Structure 1
């Protein structure tokens, strides 16, 4: 969960579209395409990847931009905060729980919304009293935009009746498309080397080491059953520097300047 909005609701990470998607993802895709061409054409000498974050972000945003220009588009052509994916739809938003934690809801498809409606309505208890002008979620009225504000009001009251951990238990393993909004510390612990911090975390790859990955090649047959182990950052830093002509004194100077990164520094000390 990145820093919250002024109203307290969790916000989307602000650098995903430009930096990571428009810049990093598009650049990485171009590099992979170039490597694929080189793998298929050994006589090729290289490729130039022309990319920038502005053009990449515009490309990534093509769907939303096109949708916004369609006349009378009720899903995407509304003012900010009133469209399908920007918080206007009650079934695509985040809600605060009794303990201050948050749950994210993203059941766009009708079958998932049906599951969500059944689960939340069956786990409120007899003492739940929604606000007078609130309307409970109804699968038959999912796309009734007039009811959206009233349904959102009902859901806000419903989620506040139980702590986040209990709502996680309600929706865990279902197709309701509802999960907890984790704090940065929780997310770091779950996806670290020992994902044991969160009681409802289920490792989808618990039978394999998280240090392994399957690497395919355009020139070879399907990957072998035993995938290679990913090497730690800095494993070959010194070997590569020597191959390109940097002597030991130069390598030591680069280390002093912090140019080689902490992983390379650790590996250097371990070899001494």
Structure 2
């Protein structure tokens, strides 16, 4: 079957026909744009003519790029043309940047009795802190927003300080993913009202919303998380419980235990005690029984016991012991192993060569999976989107002919990767 016929029979993507203009930025906004592109939206990234680090953005799958000097009169007019016909704008800048350029939401959506130039537009923007809060102008990154959200104070680490989970929580969950959710909700509402609106996402608020569950338990002073009654790392879900923790095996590779419910804990403890050498158990001065799970004063002793026991065997030996059981014990896989396992391969045989030979396996498929209108498959090569890679194509769609595009390139109003080399 030819590519044209196969594409004609493939189902439309759920966001097909939605036009998105994404101003180039870092991490959260590109991720929001990636989500929209994965599910079928047409995303055009606006890059400045420069050699900034944004040029190395790898969250660009399914997007196109136009590079221009949007501080010039002609460049700014091209930006405005793109936004006039867009359904969504993604703003990654600090508060006030687009407003100073005459590109703020009031221009498009209108204000009071002044009509807007595109009143159906969903104007989405991501900031670090609340735009109307005292920290609105402060610089920051994921770790700062995580700290200011209150979430970092609840996370495991050492007794002296908590640890942060890469830059996942605030940048991508509280920022990009939350923004994408807001965009979809606004588009859904637009189908009824016919009007766009501003989607304000900030990473502190998004991270706090994400932490609704632990915050509620913290307020209720439940035994799951730290609270006024119990310090961090003394509770069930913050590395205080021996039966919900990470352990190091004899080959220095880690394994995790998540045996919370009594039936799972029973399967875990019985499997663990049967797997360690009997001679080792006989030398131990103390051995746990099922009652230990409910006796918090015994948790430190139980944890020491498990730490010594897990070091008697390798990670994969322990994984084999609990495979097929309800003990909730799983190995901590490396990215290479996880990619192999997700692809249905034996993760035991995966090594760094797998990453070199099959780099696309690292690319996580869009989630959730839709049965009738699935997202784009993510099986292509990993490469960054070069600024200006699609400039002629995007300008042509705006009605500019080849001679006009060549002239804009010569004068530095726009940049086009392939075209510039020919001029």
The counterpart of 1:223, out of the listed 372, 396, 411, is 372
Larger Rg: 2
Which residue does 1:247 correspond to in 2?
405
**Which consecutive segments of 4 or more residues in structure 1 shift more than 4 A?**
130-134, 192-197, 209-216, 226-234
Quote the Cα distance in structure 2 between the aligned partners of 1:96 and 1:68.
29
Distance 1:26 1:123, change over 3 A: same
Quote the Cα distance in structure 2 between the aligned partners of 1:75 and 1:189.
31
Q: Deviations over 1:136-188 (max 9, x none)?
A: 2x334312101111111111111011011111111223222111123xxx314
Quote the Cα distance in structure 2 between the aligned partners of 1:103 and 1:26.
31
Which residue does 2:9 correspond to in 1?
none
Q: Which has the higher strand share?
A: 2
The counterpart of 1:74, out of the listed 212, 219, 223, is 223
Quote the Cα distance in structure 1 between the aligned partners of 2:216 and 2:377.
43
Which residue does 1:191 correspond to in 2?
339
Quote the Cα distance in structure 1 between the aligned partners of 2:377 and 2:251.
42
Return 5+ residue gaps in structure 2 as ranges. Answer: 1-156, 351-360
Distance 1:95 1:241, change over 3 A: farther
Quote the Cα distance in structure 2 between the aligned partners of 1:252 and 1:243.
15
* Structure 1 residue 6 displacement after superposition: 7.6
The counterpart of 2:274, out of the listed 94, 103, 122, is 122
* Structure 1 residue 196 displacement after superposition: 4.5
Distance 1:125 1:241, change over 3 A: farther
Alignment of 1:200-219 (within 5 A): none
Quote the Cα distance in structure 1 between the aligned partners of 2:364 and 2:223.
46
2:201 alignment partner, SS class: coil
Task: Tell whether the 8 Å contact from 2:337 to 2:348 is kept in structure 1 after alignment.
Answer: no
Q: What TM-score do the two structures reach when normalised by structure 2?
A: 0.46
Higher relative contact order (CA 8 A, sep 6+): 2
Quote the Cα distance in structure 2 between the aligned partners of 1:251 and 1:169.
62
Task: Tell whether the 8 Å contact from 1:103 to 1:178 is kept in structure 2 after alignment.
Answer: yes
1:48 alignment partner, SS class: strand
1:52 aligned onto 2:202: yes
Q: What TM-score do the two structures reach when normalised by structure 1?
A: 0.68
2:197 alignment partner, SS class: coil
Which residue does 1:170 correspond to in 2?
321
Task: Tell whether the 8 Å contact from 1:128 to 1:161 is kept in structure 2 after alignment.
Answer: no
Which residue does 2:211 correspond to in 1?
61
Aligned residue pairs: how many? 231
Quote the Cα distance in structure 1 between the aligned partners of 2:283 and 2:276.
14
Distance 1:32 1:168, change over 3 A: same
